Chain A
Amino acid sequence: MRGGTGVRADPAGPLVRPYAVTRGRTRPGPGAGLDMISVVVAVRDRAGGAVRQPEHARILRICRRPVSVAELAARLDLPITVVKVLVGDLIAGGDVAARAPLPAADLPESNLLQAVLDGIRRL
Chain B
Amino acid sequence: MASDGSEPDTRERPDIPVALKILVAGGFGAGKTTLVGSVSEITPLSTEEVMTEAGAGVDDTAGVEDKSTTTVALDFGRITIADEVVLYLFGTPGQDRFWFLWDELAEGALGAVVVADTRRLDSCFPAVDFFERRRIPFALAVNRFDGASRYSAEEVREAVDLGPDVPVVPGDARLRESGKEVLVALVEHVIRRRSPAMSG
A interface residues with partner B (beta carbon < 8 Å)? 1-3, 6-8, 10, 12, 15-20, 22-24, 26, 28-30, 32-39, 41, 66, 68, 70-71, 73-75, 79-81, 88, 91-92, 97-104, 107-108, 110, 112-121, 123
Is B103 among interface residues, defined by CB-CB distance under 8 A?
no
Contact residues, B18-61 vs A (CB, 8 A): 18-21, 28, 39, 41, 45-50
- The reply to whether B10 and A100 contact each other, CB–CB distance below 8 Å, is yes
CA distance A118 to B81 in the complex (A): 8
Contact residues, B73-115 vs A (CB, 8 A): 73-74, 76, 78-82, 85-88, 90, 93, 95-99, 107-110
Among residues of A, the one whose C-beta sits closest to the C-beta of B125 is A2
- The reply to whether A16 and B70 contact each other, CB–CB distance below 8 Å, is yes
Count class of interface residues, chain B:
35 or more
Number of A-B contacts (CB under 8 A): 199
B interface residues with partner A (beta carbon < 8 Å)? 2-5, 7-8, 10-11, 13, 16-21, 28, 39, 41, 45-50, 64-65, 69-74, 76, 78-82, 85-88, 90, 93, 95-99, 107-110, 122, 125-126, 128-129, 160-161, 176, 180, 183-184, 187-188, 190-191, 194-195
